[in-house]
Structure 1
Amino acid sequence: MIDSGWAEQVRRLARERDAVILAHNYQLPEIQDVAHHTGDSLALSRIAAESDASTIVFCGVHFMAETAKILSPDKTVLIPDAAAGCSLADSITADQLRAWKAEHPGAVVVSYVNTTAEVKAETDICCTSSNAVDVVASVPADREVLFCPDQFLGAHVKRRTGRTNMHIWAGECHVHAGINGDQLAERVAEVPGAELYIHPECGCATSALYLAGEGVVPAEKVKVLSTGDMATEARHSSATAVLVATEVGMLHQLRRAAPGVDFQPVNERASCRYMKMITPEKLLRSLREGTDEVDVPADVADRARAAVRRMIEIGQPGTGE
Protein backbone atom coordinates (compact mmCIF):
# COMPACT_ATOMS: atom_id res chain seq x y z
CA MET A 1 0.00 0.00 0.00
CA ILE A 2 1.40 3.39 -1.01
CA ASP A 3 1.78 5.95 1.75
CA SER A 4 -0.74 8.77 1.41
CA GLY A 5 2.07 11.32 1.25
CA TRP A 6 3.95 9.48 -1.51
CA ALA A 7 2.87 11.72 -4.36
CA GLU A 8 3.76 14.86 -2.39
CA GLN A 9 7.22 13.43 -1.64
CA VAL A 10 7.77 12.65 -5.32
CA ARG A 11 6.76 16.11 -6.49
CA ARG A 12 8.84 17.80 -3.75
CA LEU A 13 11.94 15.80 -4.65
CA ALA A 14 11.36 16.54 -8.35
CA ARG A 15 11.34 20.27 -7.59
CA GLU A 16 14.51 19.98 -5.51
CA ARG A 17 16.28 18.03 -8.29
CA ASP A 18 14.91 20.28 -11.06
CA ALA A 19 13.42 17.16 -12.62
CA VAL A 20 10.52 16.46 -14.94
CA ILE A 21 8.87 13.05 -14.47
CA LEU A 22 7.70 11.29 -17.62
CA ALA A 23 5.56 8.13 -17.59
CA HIS A 24 4.76 5.86 -20.49
CA ASN A 25 1.15 4.84 -21.09
CA TYR A 26 1.92 1.26 -19.99
CA GLN A 27 3.27 2.18 -16.55
CA LEU A 28 1.51 1.38 -13.27
CA PRO A 29 -1.49 3.70 -12.71
CA GLU A 30 0.07 5.38 -9.66
CA ILE A 31 3.21 6.17 -11.68
CA GLN A 32 1.11 7.62 -14.51
CA ASP A 33 -0.88 9.73 -12.05
CA VAL A 34 2.16 11.29 -10.33
CA ALA A 35 4.06 12.08 -13.54
CA HIS A 36 4.22 15.57 -14.98
CA HIS A 37 3.56 14.12 -18.44
CA THR A 38 2.16 10.78 -19.63
CA GLY A 39 2.26 9.52 -23.20
CA ASP A 40 4.13 7.36 -25.68
CA SER A 41 7.91 7.18 -25.85
CA LEU A 42 8.61 9.58 -28.71
CA ALA A 43 6.13 12.21 -27.51
CA LEU A 44 7.69 12.06 -24.05
CA SER A 45 11.22 12.34 -25.44
CA ARG A 46 10.20 15.44 -27.38
CA ILE A 47 8.63 16.92 -24.24
CA ALA A 48 11.88 16.19 -22.41
CA ALA A 49 13.90 18.00 -25.07
CA GLU A 50 11.65 21.06 -24.84
CA SER A 51 11.52 21.09 -21.03
CA ASP A 52 13.51 23.62 -19.00
CA ALA A 53 14.24 20.93 -16.40
CA SER A 54 17.86 19.83 -16.13
CA THR A 55 16.93 16.25 -15.16
CA ILE A 56 14.56 13.85 -16.88
CA VAL A 57 13.18 10.90 -14.92
CA PHE A 58 11.84 8.51 -17.55
CA CYS A 59 9.41 5.91 -16.23
CA GLY A 60 9.36 3.46 -19.10
CA VAL A 61 11.79 0.94 -20.55
CA HIS A 62 15.48 1.45 -21.28
CA PHE A 63 15.37 2.27 -25.00
CA MET A 64 12.90 5.08 -24.24
CA ALA A 65 15.27 6.69 -21.75
CA GLU A 66 18.04 6.31 -24.35
CA THR A 67 15.92 8.16 -26.92
CA ALA A 68 15.37 10.97 -24.44
CA LYS A 69 19.15 11.17 -23.91
CA ILE A 70 19.73 11.19 -27.68
CA LEU A 71 17.38 14.15 -28.07
CA SER A 72 18.60 15.87 -24.87
CA PRO A 73 22.35 15.14 -24.71
CA ASP A 74 23.08 17.94 -22.23
CA LYS A 75 20.49 16.80 -19.68
CA THR A 76 20.71 14.16 -16.97
CA VAL A 77 18.40 11.25 -17.81
CA LEU A 78 17.40 8.80 -15.09
CA ILE A 79 15.40 5.57 -15.31
CA PRO A 80 14.24 4.27 -11.92
CA ASP A 81 15.17 0.69 -12.86
CA ALA A 82 17.88 0.18 -15.49
CA ALA A 83 16.87 -3.48 -15.81
CA ALA A 84 13.55 -2.51 -17.41
CA GLY A 85 14.18 -3.86 -20.89
CA CYS A 86 12.10 -4.54 -24.00
CA SER A 87 11.68 -7.80 -25.91
CA LEU A 88 11.06 -5.91 -29.15
CA ALA A 89 14.14 -3.69 -28.87
CA ASP A 90 16.16 -6.80 -27.95
CA SER A 91 14.98 -8.67 -31.06
CA ILE A 92 17.68 -7.06 -33.23
CA THR A 93 21.23 -5.99 -32.35
CA ALA A 94 23.50 -3.55 -34.13
CA ASP A 95 25.70 -6.46 -35.27
CA GLN A 96 22.70 -8.27 -36.74
CA LEU A 97 21.57 -5.13 -38.52
CA ARG A 98 25.05 -4.55 -39.97
CA ALA A 99 25.09 -8.13 -41.28
CA TRP A 100 21.61 -7.69 -42.80
CA LYS A 101 22.72 -4.46 -44.48
CA ALA A 102 25.73 -6.27 -45.95
CA GLU A 103 23.33 -8.73 -47.61
CA HIS A 104 21.40 -5.85 -49.21
CA PRO A 105 23.90 -3.17 -50.25
CA GLY A 106 22.21 0.09 -51.12
CA ALA A 107 19.04 -0.68 -49.17
CA VAL A 108 17.45 1.98 -46.98
CA VAL A 109 17.10 0.97 -43.34
CA VAL A 110 13.89 2.05 -41.61
CA SER A 111 13.84 1.29 -37.90
CA TYR A 112 10.96 1.66 -35.48
CA VAL A 113 11.72 3.99 -32.57
CA ASN A 114 11.37 0.93 -30.31
CA THR A 115 15.04 0.07 -30.83
CA THR A 116 18.30 0.56 -28.98
CA ALA A 117 20.52 3.57 -29.57
CA GLU A 118 23.08 1.33 -31.31
CA VAL A 119 20.46 0.12 -33.80
CA LYS A 120 19.24 3.66 -34.43
CA ALA A 121 22.86 4.59 -35.17
CA GLU A 122 22.88 1.99 -37.99
CA THR A 123 19.55 3.29 -39.33
CA ASP A 124 18.84 5.66 -42.22
CA ILE A 125 15.39 6.81 -41.06
CA CYS A 126 13.49 6.06 -37.87
CA CYS A 127 9.71 5.80 -37.82
CA THR A 128 6.83 5.62 -35.40
CA SER A 129 3.76 3.42 -35.70
CA SER A 130 1.88 6.58 -36.72
CA ASN A 131 4.12 7.55 -39.62
CA ALA A 132 5.77 4.26 -40.65
CA VAL A 133 3.68 4.13 -43.84
CA ASP A 134 4.70 7.68 -44.82
CA VAL A 135 8.36 7.05 -44.02
CA VAL A 136 8.53 3.91 -46.17
CA ALA A 137 6.55 5.61 -48.96
CA SER A 138 9.16 8.41 -48.97
CA VAL A 139 11.90 5.98 -50.02
CA PRO A 140 12.44 5.96 -53.81
CA ALA A 141 10.56 3.07 -55.40
CA ASP A 142 13.73 1.54 -56.87
CA ARG A 143 15.48 1.28 -53.47
CA GLU A 144 15.12 -1.80 -51.29
CA VAL A 145 13.84 -1.18 -47.76
CA LEU A 146 15.00 -3.08 -44.70
CA PHE A 147 12.33 -2.63 -42.02
CA CYS A 148 13.03 -3.59 -38.41
CA PRO A 149 12.43 -4.89 -35.90
CA ASP A 150 8.65 -5.50 -35.62
CA GLN A 151 7.22 -7.98 -38.12
CA PHE A 152 3.59 -7.06 -37.44
CA LEU A 153 4.12 -3.33 -37.93
CA GLY A 154 6.20 -4.20 -41.00
CA ALA A 155 3.38 -6.32 -42.42
CA HIS A 156 0.94 -3.45 -41.83
CA VAL A 157 3.24 -1.04 -43.68
CA LYS A 158 3.81 -3.44 -46.57
CA ARG A 159 0.05 -3.99 -46.90
CA ARG A 160 -0.62 -0.26 -46.91
CA THR A 161 2.17 0.71 -49.31
CA GLY A 162 2.00 -2.31 -51.61
CA ARG A 163 5.78 -2.26 -51.69
CA THR A 164 7.36 -5.45 -53.07
CA ASN A 165 11.03 -4.63 -52.39
CA MET A 166 10.58 -4.35 -48.62
CA HIS A 167 12.26 -6.88 -46.34
CA ILE A 168 10.92 -7.27 -42.79
CA TRP A 169 12.89 -8.40 -39.74
CA ALA A 170 11.20 -11.21 -37.80
CA GLY A 171 11.07 -9.43 -34.44
CA GLU A 172 8.14 -8.88 -32.12
CA CYS A 173 6.97 -7.55 -28.79
CA HIS A 174 6.09 -10.68 -26.85
CA VAL A 175 3.08 -8.95 -25.28
CA HIS A 176 1.57 -7.57 -28.48
CA ALA A 177 2.32 -10.74 -30.41
CA GLY A 178 0.29 -12.62 -27.82
CA ILE A 179 -2.87 -10.69 -28.66
CA ASN A 180 -4.06 -12.96 -31.46
CA GLY A 181 -6.85 -13.16 -33.98
CA ASP A 182 -8.78 -15.90 -32.20
CA GLN A 183 -8.96 -13.79 -29.04
CA LEU A 184 -10.12 -10.79 -31.04
CA ALA A 185 -12.87 -12.73 -32.83
CA GLU A 186 -14.06 -14.14 -29.51
CA ARG A 187 -14.20 -10.72 -27.87
CA VAL A 188 -16.00 -9.18 -30.87
CA ALA A 189 -18.69 -11.84 -30.48
CA GLU A 190 -18.95 -11.10 -26.75
CA VAL A 191 -19.20 -7.31 -27.17
CA PRO A 192 -21.23 -6.74 -30.36
CA GLY A 193 -21.16 -3.20 -31.70
CA ALA A 194 -17.89 -2.29 -30.01
CA GLU A 195 -15.26 -0.21 -31.79
CA LEU A 196 -11.79 -1.74 -32.10
CA TYR A 197 -8.58 0.08 -31.21
CA ILE A 198 -5.77 -2.07 -32.59
CA HIS A 199 -2.08 -1.39 -32.12
CA PRO A 200 -0.19 -2.35 -35.31
CA GLU A 201 2.35 -4.34 -33.27
CA CYS A 202 -0.41 -6.80 -32.35
CA GLY A 203 -0.68 -10.28 -33.76
CA CYS A 204 -4.39 -9.63 -34.36
CA ALA A 205 -3.99 -6.61 -36.67
CA THR A 206 -4.52 -8.65 -39.86
CA SER A 207 -7.51 -10.41 -38.26
CA ALA A 208 -9.09 -7.06 -37.43
CA LEU A 209 -8.91 -6.00 -41.07
CA TYR A 210 -10.28 -9.40 -42.11
CA LEU A 211 -13.27 -8.99 -39.78
CA ALA A 212 -13.92 -5.58 -41.33
CA GLY A 213 -13.60 -6.98 -44.85
CA GLU A 214 -16.06 -9.75 -44.06
CA GLY A 215 -18.54 -7.30 -42.58
CA VAL A 216 -18.34 -8.81 -39.09
CA VAL A 217 -17.31 -5.39 -37.81
CA PRO A 218 -18.10 -2.21 -39.78
CA ALA A 219 -14.88 -0.96 -41.37
CA GLU A 220 -15.27 2.48 -39.78
CA LYS A 221 -15.16 0.86 -36.33
CA VAL A 222 -11.75 -0.75 -36.88
CA LYS A 223 -9.00 1.71 -36.02
CA VAL A 224 -5.32 0.78 -36.23
CA LEU A 225 -3.67 3.28 -33.89
CA SER A 226 -0.52 4.05 -31.95
CA THR A 227 -0.95 4.41 -28.20
CA GLY A 228 -0.89 8.21 -28.44
CA ASP A 229 -3.47 8.15 -31.22
CA MET A 230 -5.66 5.87 -29.09
CA ALA A 231 -5.76 8.53 -26.38
CA THR A 232 -6.60 11.23 -28.94
CA GLU A 233 -9.33 9.07 -30.50
CA ALA A 234 -10.80 8.33 -27.07
CA ARG A 235 -11.24 12.02 -26.25
CA HIS A 236 -13.50 12.45 -29.27
CA SER A 237 -15.20 9.07 -29.19
CA SER A 238 -18.98 8.67 -29.36
CA ALA A 239 -18.72 4.89 -28.88
CA THR A 240 -20.35 3.15 -25.94
CA ALA A 241 -17.80 0.29 -25.89
CA VAL A 242 -14.27 -0.10 -27.26
CA LEU A 243 -12.17 -3.26 -27.41
CA VAL A 244 -8.50 -2.37 -27.02
CA ALA A 245 -5.68 -4.48 -28.43
CA THR A 246 -2.49 -3.32 -26.76
CA GLU A 247 -0.75 -3.60 -23.37
CA VAL A 248 -3.36 -3.29 -20.61
CA GLY A 249 -1.67 -0.29 -18.96
CA MET A 250 -3.15 1.82 -21.77
CA LEU A 251 -6.64 1.33 -20.35
CA HIS A 252 -5.89 3.72 -17.47
CA GLN A 253 -5.29 6.66 -19.81
CA LEU A 254 -8.21 5.77 -22.07
CA ARG A 255 -10.63 5.61 -19.15
CA ARG A 256 -9.37 8.96 -17.89
CA ALA A 257 -9.75 10.47 -21.36
CA ALA A 258 -13.32 9.19 -21.86
CA PRO A 259 -14.90 8.01 -18.60
CA GLY A 260 -18.25 7.44 -20.29
CA VAL A 261 -16.87 4.82 -22.66
CA ASP A 262 -16.54 1.15 -21.67
CA PHE A 263 -12.94 0.30 -22.62
CA GLN A 264 -12.18 -3.43 -22.42
CA PRO A 265 -8.97 -5.32 -23.24
CA VAL A 266 -8.91 -7.86 -26.03
CA ASN A 267 -6.52 -9.84 -23.84
CA GLU A 268 -6.64 -8.96 -20.15
CA ARG A 269 -3.34 -10.82 -19.59
CA ALA A 270 -1.42 -8.61 -22.03
CA SER A 271 0.76 -7.03 -19.37
CA CYS A 272 4.44 -6.23 -19.88
CA ARG A 273 6.49 -7.17 -16.82
CA TYR A 274 9.25 -4.78 -17.89
CA MET A 275 6.82 -1.85 -17.94
CA LYS A 276 5.69 -2.75 -14.43
CA MET A 277 9.21 -2.87 -12.97
CA ILE A 278 9.19 0.81 -12.03
CA THR A 279 7.40 0.96 -8.70
CA PRO A 280 6.61 3.93 -6.43
CA GLU A 281 9.54 2.94 -4.20
CA LYS A 282 11.97 2.86 -7.13
CA LEU A 283 10.78 6.25 -8.37
CA LEU A 284 11.40 7.75 -4.92
CA ARG A 285 14.87 6.17 -4.77
CA SER A 286 15.73 7.51 -8.22
CA LEU A 287 14.80 11.05 -7.18
CA ARG A 288 16.67 10.80 -3.88
CA GLU A 289 19.83 9.06 -5.09
CA GLY A 290 20.01 9.87 -8.80
CA THR A 291 19.65 6.25 -9.92
CA ASP A 292 19.91 4.94 -12.58
CA GLU A 293 21.58 7.39 -14.97
CA VAL A 294 21.37 6.64 -18.68
CA ASP A 295 24.25 7.50 -20.98
CA VAL A 296 24.71 7.10 -24.74
CA PRO A 297 28.21 7.46 -26.27
CA ALA A 298 28.45 10.71 -28.23
CA ASP A 299 29.24 9.10 -31.59
CA VAL A 300 26.32 6.68 -31.26
CA ALA A 301 23.98 9.46 -30.13
CA ASP A 302 24.99 11.70 -33.05
CA ARG A 303 24.26 9.02 -35.67
CA ALA A 304 21.04 7.96 -33.95
CA ARG A 305 19.90 11.59 -33.70
CA ALA A 306 20.39 12.00 -37.44
CA ALA A 307 18.01 9.07 -38.13
CA VAL A 308 15.37 10.58 -35.84
CA ARG A 309 15.74 14.01 -37.46
CA ARG A 310 15.30 12.53 -40.95
CA MET A 311 12.03 11.03 -39.76
CA ILE A 312 10.83 14.41 -38.52
CA GLU A 313 11.86 16.09 -41.78
CA ILE A 314 9.61 13.72 -43.75
CA GLY A 315 6.57 14.98 -41.88
CA GLN A 316 4.90 15.18 -38.54
CA PRO A 317 5.85 11.93 -36.78
CA GLY A 318 2.73 12.12 -34.65
CA THR A 319 2.92 9.88 -31.67
CA GLY A 320 5.37 7.14 -30.98
CA GLU A 321 4.76 3.47 -30.44
Structure 2
Amino acid sequence: MWLNTTSSPFLLTGFPGMEKAHHWISIPLLVVYISILLGNGTLLFLIREDHNLHEPMYYFLAMLAATDLGVTLTTMPTVLGVLWLNHREIGHRACFSQAYFIHTLSIVESGVLLAMAYDRFIAICNPLRYTSILTNIRVIKIGMGVLARASLSILPIILHLPWFPYCRSRVLSHVFCLHQDVIKLACANITFNSLYPVVVVFAMVLLDFLIIFFSYILILETVMGIASGEERAKALNTCVSHICCILVFYITVVGLTFIHRFGRHAPHVVHITMSYVYFLFPPFMNPVIYSIKTKQIQSGIIRLFSLPHSRA
Protein backbone atom coordinates (compact mmCIF):
# COMPACT_ATOMS: atom_id res chain seq x y z
CA MET A 1 0.00 0.00 0.00
CA TRP A 2 1.05 3.59 -0.50
CA LEU A 3 -0.17 6.94 0.76
CA ASN A 4 -2.42 8.52 -1.83
CA THR A 5 -1.32 12.10 -2.46
CA THR A 6 -3.52 12.82 -5.47
CA SER A 7 -5.22 16.19 -5.46
CA SER A 8 -8.12 15.11 -7.67
CA PRO A 9 -11.27 15.41 -5.55
CA PHE A 10 -14.19 13.02 -5.59
CA LEU A 11 -17.43 14.04 -7.29
CA LEU A 12 -20.71 13.68 -5.43
CA THR A 13 -23.89 12.60 -7.20
CA GLY A 14 -27.21 14.34 -6.77
CA PHE A 15 -30.24 12.87 -8.51
CA PRO A 16 -28.91 11.71 -11.93
CA GLY A 17 -31.14 12.79 -14.81
CA MET A 18 -33.08 15.12 -12.50
CA GLU A 19 -30.55 17.95 -12.23
CA LYS A 20 -33.09 20.55 -13.40
CA ALA A 21 -35.35 19.60 -10.52
CA HIS A 22 -32.64 19.81 -7.84
CA HIS A 23 -33.95 23.11 -6.48
CA TRP A 24 -37.45 21.67 -6.13
CA ILE A 25 -36.15 18.46 -4.56
CA SER A 26 -34.22 20.54 -2.03
CA ILE A 27 -37.41 22.16 -0.66
CA PRO A 28 -38.82 19.13 1.22
CA LEU A 29 -35.29 18.17 2.29
CA LEU A 30 -34.75 21.67 3.70
CA VAL A 31 -38.06 21.48 5.58
CA VAL A 32 -37.06 18.13 7.09
CA TYR A 33 -33.59 19.49 7.90
CA ILE A 34 -34.97 22.50 9.77
CA SER A 35 -37.51 20.27 11.55
CA ILE A 36 -34.74 17.96 12.72
CA LEU A 37 -32.68 20.88 14.03
CA LEU A 38 -35.65 22.41 15.84
CA GLY A 39 -37.03 19.13 17.19
CA ASN A 40 -33.81 17.66 18.53
CA GLY A 41 -32.49 21.06 19.60
CA THR A 42 -35.66 21.64 21.60
CA LEU A 43 -35.35 18.24 23.27
CA LEU A 44 -31.75 18.96 24.30
CA PHE A 45 -32.63 22.42 25.62
CA LEU A 46 -35.67 21.08 27.46
CA ILE A 47 -33.78 18.24 29.14
CA ARG A 48 -31.04 20.63 30.19
CA GLU A 49 -33.33 23.32 31.60
CA ASP A 50 -36.18 21.26 33.09
CA HIS A 51 -35.12 19.67 36.39
CA ASN A 52 -38.09 17.30 36.19
CA LEU A 53 -36.31 15.63 33.26
CA HIS A 54 -32.98 15.13 35.04
CA GLU A 55 -33.37 11.35 35.09
CA PRO A 56 -31.43 8.54 33.35
CA MET A 57 -34.21 7.93 30.83
CA TYR A 58 -34.04 11.53 29.59
CA TYR A 59 -30.25 11.66 29.70
CA PHE A 60 -30.25 8.75 27.24
CA LEU A 61 -32.87 10.59 25.19
CA ALA A 62 -30.53 13.60 25.12
CA MET A 63 -27.77 11.32 23.80
CA LEU A 64 -30.14 10.11 21.08
CA ALA A 65 -31.07 13.68 20.13
CA ALA A 66 -27.40 14.73 20.03
CA THR A 67 -26.57 11.74 17.82
CA ASP A 68 -29.43 12.57 15.45
CA LEU A 69 -28.23 16.17 15.24
CA GLY A 70 -24.72 14.94 14.53
CA VAL A 71 -25.85 12.69 11.66
CA THR A 72 -27.91 15.48 10.13
CA LEU A 73 -25.24 18.18 10.45
CA THR A 74 -22.68 15.80 8.96
CA THR A 75 -24.72 15.07 5.82
CA MET A 76 -27.19 17.85 5.04
CA PRO A 77 -24.80 20.78 4.35
CA THR A 78 -23.17 18.64 1.64
CA VAL A 79 -26.57 17.63 0.26
CA LEU A 80 -27.80 21.20 0.02
CA GLY A 81 -24.49 22.33 -1.48
CA VAL A 82 -24.98 19.86 -4.33
CA LEU A 83 -28.68 20.57 -4.86
CA TRP A 84 -28.46 24.37 -4.58
CA LEU A 85 -25.01 25.25 -5.90
CA ASN A 86 -24.04 22.11 -7.83
CA HIS A 87 -20.97 22.00 -5.58
CA ARG A 88 -20.10 18.38 -6.29
CA GLU A 89 -16.37 18.28 -5.54
CA ILE A 90 -15.19 17.03 -2.18
CA GLY A 91 -11.55 16.56 -1.16
CA HIS A 92 -10.27 13.20 0.00
CA ARG A 93 -9.69 14.24 3.60
CA ALA A 94 -13.12 15.85 3.85
CA CYS A 95 -14.71 12.79 2.26
CA PHE A 96 -12.96 10.32 4.58
CA SER A 97 -13.80 12.44 7.61
CA GLN A 98 -17.45 12.63 6.61
CA ALA A 99 -17.60 8.87 6.07
CA TYR A 100 -16.05 8.33 9.50
CA PHE A 101 -18.60 10.49 11.30
CA ILE A 102 -21.56 9.09 9.35
CA HIS A 103 -20.73 5.47 10.12
CA THR A 104 -19.60 6.17 13.69
CA LEU A 105 -22.82 8.00 14.54
CA SER A 106 -24.89 5.17 13.07
CA ILE A 107 -23.20 2.74 15.48
CA VAL A 108 -23.64 5.26 18.30
CA GLU A 109 -27.40 5.45 17.62
CA SER A 110 -27.69 1.67 17.86
CA GLY A 111 -25.73 1.74 21.12
CA VAL A 112 -27.90 4.51 22.60
CA LEU A 113 -31.06 2.55 21.77
CA LEU A 114 -29.51 -0.42 23.58
CA ALA A 115 -28.72 1.78 26.59
CA MET A 116 -32.31 3.02 26.61
CA ALA A 117 -33.51 -0.61 26.59
CA TYR A 118 -31.27 -1.27 29.61
CA ASP A 119 -32.85 1.73 31.34
CA ARG A 120 -36.37 0.39 30.73
CA PHE A 121 -35.31 -3.11 31.83
CA ILE A 122 -33.99 -1.84 35.18
CA ALA A 123 -36.98 0.50 35.68
CA ILE A 124 -39.54 -2.29 35.21
CA CYS A 125 -37.74 -5.46 36.29
CA ASN A 126 -35.81 -4.00 39.23
CA PRO A 127 -37.52 -0.71 40.14
CA LEU A 128 -36.40 -0.61 43.79
CA ARG A 129 -32.73 -0.47 42.73
CA TYR A 130 -33.24 1.83 39.73
CA THR A 131 -31.70 4.94 41.28
CA SER A 132 -28.81 3.02 42.84
CA ILE A 133 -27.96 1.19 39.59
CA LEU A 134 -28.40 4.01 37.09
CA THR A 135 -26.53 6.76 38.87
CA ASN A 136 -25.36 9.85 37.00
CA ILE A 137 -21.79 8.50 36.96
CA ARG A 138 -22.94 5.20 35.48
CA VAL A 139 -25.02 6.95 32.83
CA ILE A 140 -21.95 8.99 31.84
CA LYS A 141 -19.84 5.82 31.69
CA ILE A 142 -22.44 4.11 29.50
CA GLY A 143 -22.53 7.11 27.16
CA MET A 144 -18.73 7.23 26.93
CA GLY A 145 -18.62 3.48 26.34
CA VAL A 146 -21.14 3.71 23.49
CA LEU A 147 -19.15 6.54 21.88
CA ALA A 148 -15.79 4.78 22.33
CA ARG A 149 -17.12 1.50 20.92
CA ALA A 150 -18.43 3.18 17.79
CA SER A 151 -15.48 5.48 17.14
CA LEU A 152 -12.86 2.75 17.62
CA SER A 153 -14.72 0.11 15.61
CA ILE A 154 -15.02 2.34 12.52
CA LEU A 155 -11.48 3.72 12.70
CA PRO A 156 -9.62 0.75 11.08
CA ILE A 157 -11.47 0.92 7.74
CA ILE A 158 -11.22 4.71 7.54
CA LEU A 159 -7.47 4.66 8.24
CA HIS A 160 -7.03 2.41 5.20
CA LEU A 161 -8.73 4.81 2.78
CA PRO A 162 -5.89 7.38 2.36
CA TRP A 163 -3.52 4.58 1.33
CA PHE A 164 -5.59 3.35 -1.62
CA PRO A 165 -4.98 4.59 -5.18
CA TYR A 166 -8.24 5.81 -6.77
CA CYS A 167 -7.95 5.33 -10.51
CA ARG A 168 -11.26 3.81 -11.61
CA SER A 169 -13.39 6.90 -11.32
CA ARG A 170 -13.87 10.04 -9.25
CA VAL A 171 -17.68 9.84 -9.14
CA LEU A 172 -19.36 8.62 -5.96
CA SER A 173 -22.86 7.20 -6.17
CA HIS A 174 -24.36 9.36 -3.42
CA VAL A 175 -24.52 12.99 -2.42
CA PHE A 176 -22.36 12.34 0.65
CA CYS A 177 -19.37 10.09 1.30
CA LEU A 178 -20.03 6.53 2.39
CA HIS A 179 -17.27 4.00 2.95
CA GLN A 180 -18.85 1.39 0.67
CA ASP A 181 -18.93 3.89 -2.21
CA VAL A 182 -15.36 5.08 -1.76
CA ILE A 183 -13.76 1.62 -1.79
CA LYS A 184 -15.50 0.83 -5.11
CA LEU A 185 -13.24 3.44 -6.71
CA ALA A 186 -10.01 2.00 -5.28
CA CYS A 187 -7.58 0.13 -7.53
CA ALA A 188 -6.21 -2.08 -4.76
CA ASN A 189 -6.94 -5.11 -2.62
CA ILE A 190 -10.00 -4.04 -0.62
CA THR A 191 -10.74 -7.42 1.00
CA PHE A 192 -10.32 -6.09 4.55
CA ASN A 193 -12.45 -3.00 3.87
CA SER A 194 -15.14 -5.18 2.31
CA LEU A 195 -15.35 -7.82 5.04
CA TYR A 196 -14.66 -5.80 8.19
CA PRO A 197 -17.83 -3.64 7.96
CA VAL A 198 -19.93 -6.81 7.68
CA VAL A 199 -18.33 -8.09 10.88
CA VAL A 200 -19.00 -4.76 12.61
CA VAL A 201 -22.66 -4.77 11.56
CA PHE A 202 -23.20 -8.33 12.80
CA ALA A 203 -21.14 -7.89 15.98
CA MET A 204 -22.69 -4.58 16.99
CA VAL A 205 -25.88 -3.49 15.26
CA LEU A 206 -27.37 -7.00 14.99
CA LEU A 207 -26.18 -7.94 18.48
CA ASP A 208 -27.65 -4.71 19.87
CA PHE A 209 -31.00 -5.56 18.30
CA LEU A 210 -30.97 -9.12 19.71
CA ILE A 211 -30.15 -7.87 23.21
CA ILE A 212 -32.92 -5.26 22.96
CA PHE A 213 -35.33 -7.95 21.74
CA PHE A 214 -34.55 -10.33 24.62
CA SER A 215 -34.66 -7.51 27.16
CA TYR A 216 -38.21 -6.76 26.08
CA ILE A 217 -39.13 -10.43 26.44
CA LEU A 218 -38.00 -10.20 30.06
CA ILE A 219 -39.81 -6.89 30.48
CA LEU A 220 -43.01 -8.44 29.08
CA GLU A 221 -42.73 -11.40 31.46
CA THR A 222 -42.35 -9.01 34.40
CA VAL A 223 -45.27 -6.84 33.28
CA MET A 224 -47.55 -9.86 32.80
CA GLY A 225 -46.84 -10.81 36.42
CA ILE A 226 -48.26 -7.52 37.68
CA ALA A 227 -51.73 -8.10 39.15
CA SER A 228 -53.30 -4.76 38.31
CA GLY A 229 -54.25 -4.21 34.67
CA GLU A 230 -53.86 -0.46 35.15
CA GLU A 231 -50.30 -0.86 36.44
CA ARG A 232 -49.48 -3.20 33.55
CA ALA A 233 -50.67 -0.59 31.06
CA LYS A 234 -48.73 2.14 32.86
CA ALA A 235 -45.51 0.09 32.80
CA LEU A 236 -45.85 -0.77 29.12
CA ASN A 237 -46.68 2.84 28.26
CA THR A 238 -43.23 3.92 29.48
CA CYS A 239 -41.72 1.68 26.77
CA VAL A 240 -43.89 2.73 23.82
CA SER A 241 -41.73 5.68 22.73
CA HIS A 242 -38.55 3.62 22.88
CA ILE A 243 -40.11 0.74 20.93
CA CYS A 244 -41.26 3.16 18.21
CA CYS A 245 -37.74 4.62 17.90
CA ILE A 246 -36.28 1.10 17.69
CA LEU A 247 -38.66 0.20 14.87
CA VAL A 248 -37.94 3.42 12.98
CA PHE A 249 -34.16 2.92 13.19
CA TYR A 250 -33.90 -0.80 12.49
CA ILE A 251 -36.54 -0.85 9.74
CA THR A 252 -34.59 1.81 7.86
CA VAL A 253 -31.34 -0.14 8.44
CA VAL A 254 -32.93 -3.29 7.03
CA GLY A 255 -34.44 -1.35 4.12
CA LEU A 256 -31.12 0.25 3.17
CA THR A 257 -29.26 -3.06 3.51
CA PHE A 258 -31.87 -4.86 1.41
CA ILE A 259 -31.64 -2.25 -1.36
CA HIS A 260 -27.83 -2.36 -1.41
CA ARG A 261 -27.61 -6.17 -1.37
CA PHE A 262 -30.56 -7.23 -3.50
CA GLY A 263 -31.62 -4.12 -5.43
CA ARG A 264 -28.74 -3.97 -7.89
CA HIS A 265 -31.16 -3.74 -10.81
CA ALA A 266 -33.30 -1.07 -9.16
CA PRO A 267 -32.97 2.48 -10.56
CA HIS A 268 -30.12 4.42 -8.96
CA VAL A 269 -32.58 7.04 -7.75
CA VAL A 270 -34.12 4.35 -5.50
CA HIS A 271 -30.75 3.78 -3.79
CA ILE A 272 -30.25 7.52 -3.32
CA THR A 273 -33.78 8.03 -1.97
CA MET A 274 -33.37 5.14 0.47
CA SER A 275 -30.13 6.65 1.76
CA TYR A 276 -31.99 9.91 2.47
CA VAL A 277 -34.69 7.95 4.31
CA TYR A 278 -32.04 6.18 6.40
CA PHE A 279 -30.24 9.38 7.43
CA LEU A 280 -33.23 11.72 7.80
CA PHE A 281 -36.26 9.66 8.88
CA PRO A 282 -35.05 8.53 12.36
CA PRO A 283 -33.73 12.01 13.36
CA PHE A 284 -37.01 13.52 12.14
CA MET A 285 -39.29 10.99 13.85
CA ASN A 286 -37.56 10.52 17.22
CA PRO A 287 -38.46 13.95 18.67
CA VAL A 288 -41.98 13.63 17.25
CA ILE A 289 -42.43 10.21 18.88
CA TYR A 290 -41.24 11.36 22.30
CA SER A 291 -43.24 14.59 22.10
CA ILE A 292 -46.44 12.67 21.36
CA LYS A 293 -45.94 9.60 23.56
CA THR A 294 -44.19 11.00 26.66
CA LYS A 295 -46.26 13.12 29.03
CA GLN A 296 -43.21 14.55 30.79
CA ILE A 297 -41.86 15.87 27.48
CA GLN A 298 -45.28 17.29 26.61
CA SER A 299 -45.48 19.04 29.98
CA GLY A 300 -41.94 20.37 29.58
CA ILE A 301 -42.72 21.79 26.13
CA ILE A 302 -45.87 23.47 27.48
CA ARG A 303 -43.90 24.99 30.35
CA LEU A 304 -41.16 26.10 27.95
CA PHE A 305 -43.52 27.93 25.59
CA SER A 306 -45.80 29.29 28.31
CA LEU A 307 -42.91 30.77 30.30
CA PRO A 308 -42.77 34.10 28.42
CA HIS A 309 -46.53 34.56 28.85
CA SER A 310 -46.38 33.89 32.57
CA ARG A 311 -43.60 36.49 32.93
CA ALA A 312 -45.63 38.99 30.98
- Per the normalisation by structure 2, the TM-score is 0.28
Which has the higher Rg, Structure 1 or Structure 2?
A: 2
Higher relative CO (Cα under 8 Å, sequence separation at least 6) belongs to 2
- Per the normalisation by structure 1, the TM-score is 0.28
Higher fraction of helix: 2
